[in-house]
Amino acid sequence: MSTQDVTREQVGARRFVKGIDNPVLVSCIAVVAIILIGSIYLPDFLSVKYLVQQLRIASFLGIVATGAMVVILLGQIDLSIPWAMTAAAMVSTAVVGLGEAWAPFAIPAGLMVGVVVGLFNGIGVGYVRLPSMILTLATNAVLLGLAVVYTGGFAPQTKASGLMRWLGRDSSVLGVPNVLWVWLALGVGVAVVLRRSAVGRAIFATGNREVASYLSGIRTGRVICLAFVFSGVCSALGGILLAGRLDQSYQGMGNDYLLPAIAAVVLGGTYILGGRGTYLGTVVGVLVISLISSVLAVMQIPEASRQIIYGAVIIAMLLLHGRGAAPGR
């Protein structure tokens, strides 16, 4: 091999290393470390069956985090995730409760809840210019109140449709859980849109400098509105599939997904003030969050201690890669 060939290989290697997103690299290392730690306490942790089961569990969070990431890329945040999930699941199971003839409309009805919630948030933030944190938190409270009024404070006596159970609980192609296929299809679509389309470029541009983007001709209000609608649909889809897995809906079923979804996005390197991030990072962040929860459960740590460790690990990882330079604004 000539000196020139060696030099080319070195240059190529350096470019590859520089091209790796540091937060993604840190999260990937964390995934490997968590798996190794888990295998110490449970030898089956490294088995294909157990890892596929973890991917099944992670898929629900991954679907929700997909919508959260698009909103965060704009420098906004969606805190209506918990009850958007719950409301969509309740509507879907309520439609099924009307009779078998209504079962095909269960999933579309639940997704429409996500569209309505996202549209309300999007118009409020994108056009009325209300703070996303306050508006979406208020939306979450309204949805909670509506659910309590609808159920009277009790769990709704309805079940999921056959399609909801098939998507949320069953496995079909190659023994892979169907919900994982849903997450994969959604993720590939989002990754392509973000990197290969005008909409994706508008999202990154708006997240970096909204005023400059508006002056350059980008309809930033529309971009923000579409992002919140997408987040609402992802939250609704996550709730519907979760209801399919459990064969029921219940109050507060989305409460455990808000912090993990946002944490997964940030752990994956998406800048919390917008303008920077990759979907691959969000995927790895979801795996980190899910595996941490699994390992803590395997170790049979009390719930209070589990929450302390869970939060401490997230804070530590954020400190490792959360202090990068902000993109220009």
1-10, 189-198, 309-318: range with lowest mean pLDDT: 1-10
Query: Averaged over 296-300, what is the pLDDT?
Result: 80
Give the residue-averaged pLDDT of 276-299.
88
| Highest-pLDDT range among 94-98, 113-117, 165-169, 276-280 | 113-117
Strand (E) or helix (H) holding 64: helix 48-73
Torsion 162-163-167-171 (CA) sign: positive
pLDDT at residue number 321: 56
Q: What is the pLDDT of residue 155?
A: 62
Taking residues 160-177, report their average pLDDT. 89
- Does residue 119 carry a pLDDT above 90? yes
Q: What is the mean pLDDT of residues 33-50?
A: 82
The pLDDT value recorded for residue 142 is 94
pLDDT at residue 11, rounded to an integer: 44
Instruction: Report how far residue 78's alpha carbon sits from residue 58's, in angstroms, rounded to the nearest whole number.
Output: 20
User: Tens digits of per-residue pLDDT, 231-276?
Assistant: 999 999 999 999 999 998 888 889 989 989 998 998 888 888 888 8
Mean pLDDT of 172-181: 89
At 133 the pLDDT is 94
- 93 touches 243 (CB < 8 A): yes
Averaged pLDDT, 45-70: 91
Whole-number pLDDT of residue 319? 74
Q: Please state the rounded mean pLDDT for residues 12-41.
A: 70
Distance CA 328, CA 275 (A): 9
In this prediction, residue 90 carries a pLDDT of: 92
pLDDT of residue 147: 86
pLDDT of residue 130: 94
The 8-class DSSP code of residue 268 comes to T
Alpha carbon 203 to chain centroid distance?
Answer: 17
| Residue 86 exposed, middle or buried by CB count within 10 Å (0-12, 13-18, 19+) | buried
**C-beta separation of 238 from 63 below 8 A:** yes
CB 77 within 8 A of CB 136: yes
Residue range 177-206: average pLDDT?
94
Checking if the pLDDT of 190 tops 50, the result is yes
Q: What is the pTM of this model?
A: 0.88
Buried b (16+ CB within 10 A) or exposed e, 261-297: bbbbbbbbbbbeebbbbbbbbbbbbbbbbbbbbbbbe
Stretch 284-297: mean pLDDT: 88
Q: Which of 188, 204, 231 is nearest to 71 (CA)?
A: 231
What one-character-per-residue DSSP string does 155-206 give?
-------HHHHHHHH-B-GGG-BHHHHHHHHHHHHHHHHHHHSHHHHHHHHH
Locate 303 and state its tokens.
Answer: 């719930």
Judged against a pLDDT cut of 70, whether residue 13 lies above it is answered with no
